[in-house]
Structure 1
């Protein structure tokens, strides 16, 4: 801490309150209007008899018109404009044209169902790979008529994963492959401008990976609560923190259960099912933490990979009964993962990070921020679902398709804090924010709703 800031902090904590000036004036918490748009992420019928092909067809039907529109805008307005071919199998050899379909990446290292079978029979399965991408990966474009193999140097330079919808310009070679010259993505609807003009600075505090139950995070969590509730910091900090109108807890709120050795694993019961081993203390500690927060702030709780919720996306809200203390407050809001919010006209889309973690395995690069930016460009939050990311087998819709770009896009449980401002050709801007795990980085992120700027706040107790 710089000496000037340290002196200011010391003075503010030790000085006597003067009743004749404004130093004792009460600081009021800012307010905001709030709307949820999570109906599409709510699973109304838990039916698992249908195949996963339905979600792929829905995705293609929802994004194909937008991809053709973007391709026509890009390639179809020249004198020698190439024709659009509606089906991939209708392409003629040596004819330059553009087609639209779903990308499938054939990856030799991608896990298969046999790995899951070995796990069920208690055979030691191979560890999960950090990356599936290799130089031997093959790219395929398919629709309801069939599939065609893609080739071309542009494919290796472009970030492509299974499940995205793209338009490709090129021609079919004599070998039956489609040589790609250029790639175009679906055009989303323009953003809805905010209907409310935000005059003062208002902030949304985002934290992920609290890992409550991890003994190493106890004091850091106390500092976090004091900071958000206005009991920590100088007068300047408290005036800024009074502008925090909402807290978003983006997944992995309880610590990951430790692995159990085979020798210590409980014996199976008479019906063949394994006896569950569950520690309720982290849930109770999280309930206490959330109740303390909800006394002063609205809290949105997203489930994560290690939280007590369904595993497949979209994850449904964690049940109220698990939090007997926090659920007494109307400011406590368990929500879905992903979650769509509208705060003072600013659209905010948040996930707990599983979607980006799975995309990370499909590409050679380690730049997670560029991957998050690409999900906005692709118009899809979870393209690798259901291929390698578990999701509900929707048959009439794909809830992960974006109709328009959000103003703020949050991805939780990432290795480090990163942010960027993505602007498209229509001047629509999206603030992309990667939020690190609090248990690892001791960091939360404050997002200014007026300026869309994001800044990290780090809590460190190493010197104590």
Structure 2
């Protein structure tokens, strides 16, 4: 194979920028006698994975309690964790199947759901008891502090767990784990070791990670368009749009770049935070807020997606700023909110989180709320480590419903990761990062943190043939 410097017709290897820089393409222009040739785009098979999709769609019911989602989580994950704990500790410790059956000073191991008592964590009861004229406490970036307490509970009761081993582990409310230790004279369980579920089995057979060829196909991953925000460059959006549609530069370059892009996933926050239009003439009546909102950002998004979907299938996930219920799992953005693109067959409004397959390569992604909430529980700053840990927990949103709003499911926990996806992407993060996680049974997942496009100008391209990925930066001004 020729060196990378000479392979200007292909996308680059992992960790580099585009072999054909956007700045170079901007300097090119079509000649008058250049023929307009239709681009033959790469095509992929698409599977919406109904086994996961149906769990993420909310069915109307009158159920309003959260106890069952914890019960389902414990029921599905505890046998897996118990089996791992037996392999690890059964030679010198016994399993106690109910927390309330623990005997003092007897070495044993337990399985249960973690609950963290945190002084800085939001408390709905405190909010309800606060006087209306009292100012709300400022939101903290982190919930964790030196006064945090850890509890483990099952259907029989709960016990306080203590020990230095807890400080060495990433622990969040809602995870299922096993602890080895003894109950002391104060009734606390002193933990000497911890066991979690570990990486699940792979969904699909292992992809050959070293394959490079001319038939490469790419999925573009974007998040945080933030259309409508002050200071967001419309020029950056225009340059990206021309990059995808093949209008940037002369035809040979646009063919080599655009023809390999098969799908686009937009992972949340396509719109900026909506602000009401002040109107002092209208007053609130009986608690109803009849404020007006500017619809122009939504119209701009509709126009942008209409042009994009004219050539490429686009899968759009809602985020915390988008016109969708903020409760997870967020339901697809209603097509009638985007009338121009809503009926386009290339327009795919999907849930958040989102499972799918392209050419048998499985994807799992969120718009970022899951990792953002876990980040508040721990002192660790590296969000790539947090994302990887959710795979080992086999749960993408353990802090729901404690501090992350979610629907009160009765018979299912849709956030359980029972199979290892090939690609796991997290939207609206502070910066781009990626890692290939490999398990003991040859499982693997490409984790990708997606930065806000409005702030960074970065789009991530994932090669379906080998799961290598790279970024391309789009400037905010033409040169």
TM-score > 0.5 by shorter chain: yes
Match of 1:28 in 2: 40
Q: 1:18 to 1:182 in 2, by over 3 A?
A: same
Q: 1:413-459 CA deviation, whole Å, 9 max, x = no partner?
A: 11111111111221211111110111111111111111112211111
Q: 2:152 aligns with which of 141, 147, 164?
A: 141
SS of alignment partner, residue 419 of structure 2: coil
- Verify the 8 A CA contact 2:26 2:478 in the aligned structure 1: no
Report the more deviating stretch, 120-129 or 130-139. Answer: 120-129
Which residue of 2 is the match for residue 219 of structure 1?
Answer: 235
List aligned pairs for 1:101-140, cutoff 5 A.
101-114=112-125, 116-117=127-128, 121=132, 124-140=135-151
- Provide the C-alpha distance between the structure 1 equivalents of 2:45 and 2:418, rounded to a whole number of angstroms: 23
- In structure 2, the partner of 1:71 is 85
1:302 is aligned, of 285, 307, 317, to: 317
**Contact 2:26 / 2:249 at 8 angstroms: preserved in 1?**
no
2:12 aligned partner: none
Pair 1:165-2:176 in alignment: yes
Q: Distance in 2 between matches of 1:387 and 1:2?
A: 42
Note the alpha carbon deviations across 1:86-116, whole angstroms, 9 max, x for none: 1122222222221111011111111111564
Say if 2:101 is the partner of 1:99: no
Shift of 1:276: 2.6
Write the distance in 2 (CA, Å) between the matches of 1:6 and 1:422. Answer: 31
1:349–1:3 distance in 2 versus 1, CA, 3 Å: closer
User: Residues 118 and 308 of structure 1: is their aligned pair in 2 closer, same or farther, counting only changes over 3 Å?
Assistant: farther
Tell me how far apart the structure 2 counterparts of residues 372 and 92 of structure 1 sit (CA, whole Å). Answer: 36
| Greater RCO (CA < 8 Å, at least 6 residues apart) | 2
Q: Is the 8 A contact 2:460 2:472 kept in 1?
A: yes
Deviations 1:181-231 (A, max 9, x none): 211111454113249999721111111111111353211111111111122
**Distance of 1:443 and 1:9 partners within structure 2:** 16
Aligned partner of 1:286 in structure 2 is 301
1:294-332 Cα shifts (integer Å, max 9, x gaps): 111111111110111111000111111111111221110
Does residue 240 (structure 1) correspond to residue 260 (structure 2)? The answer is no
The secondary structure found in structure 2 opposite 1:349 is: strand
Contact 1:69 1:187 in 2 (8 A): no
Assess, with a 3 A threshold, how the Cα gap between structure 1 residues 335 and 118 changes in structure 2: closer, same or farther: farther
1:127-149: CA deviations, max 9, x gaps?
21111101111111111111111
Aligned residues of 1:252 and 1:304 also touching (Cα < 8 A): yes
Whole-angstrom distance in 1 between the partners of 2:268 and 2:19 = 37
Match of 1:403 in 2: 418
Work out which of the residue numbers 346, 350, 355 in structure 2 matches 1:335: 350
**3-state SS of 1:328 partner:** coil
Q: Residue 69 of structure 1: CA displacement?
A: 1.5
Change (3 A) 1:123 1:335: farther
Distance 1:89 1:343 in 2: 48
What is the CA distance between 1:6 and its match in structure 2? Answer: 9.2
Question: Of 302, 313, 321, which aligns to 2:328?
Answer: 313
Q: Which residue does the alignment assign to 1:375?
A: 390
d(CA) in 1 for partners of 2:300 and 2:377? 37
Tell me if structure 1 keeps the 8 A contact 2:302–2:338.
yes
Counterpart of 2:473 in structure 1 is 458
**CA 5–356 in structure 1, closer or farther in 2 if over 3 Å, else same:** closer
Q: 1:243 to 1:73 in 2, by over 3 A?
A: farther
Q: C-alpha separation between the residues in 1 aligned to 2:76 and 2:23?
A: 59
C-alpha RMSD of matched pairs (Å): 2.8
In structure 2, relative to structure 1, the CA distance for the partners of 1:121 and 1:46 (3 Å cut) is farther
Q: Which whole-Å CA distance do the structure 2 matches of 1:97 and 1:382 have between them?
A: 29
Inter-partner Cα distance in structure 2 for 1:294 and 1:252: 18
Residue 95 of structure 2: which of 73, 80, 84 is its match?
84
Aligned residues: 454
Deviation at 1:11, TM superposition (A): 8.4
Contact 2:99–2:153 at 8 Å: present in 1 too?
A: yes
Q: Note closer, same or farther for the CA distance 1:264–1:142 as it changes in structure 2 (3 Å cut).
A: farther
Q: 1:386 and 1:2, CA in 2 relative to 1: closer, same or farther beyond 3 A?
A: closer
1:9, distance to aligned residue in structure 2 (A) = 4.7
CA separation of 1:13 and 1:40: change in aligned 2, threshold 3 A: same
- Contact 1:312/1:390 (<8 A) preserved: yes
- The match for 2:404 is 389
Q: Per the alignment, in what secondary structure is the counterpart of residue 282 of structure 1? A: helix
The 2-side partners of 1:206 and 1:5 are apart by 18
Aligned partners of 1:435 and 1:275: how far apart in 2? 36
Q: TM-score, normalised by structure 2?
A: 0.88
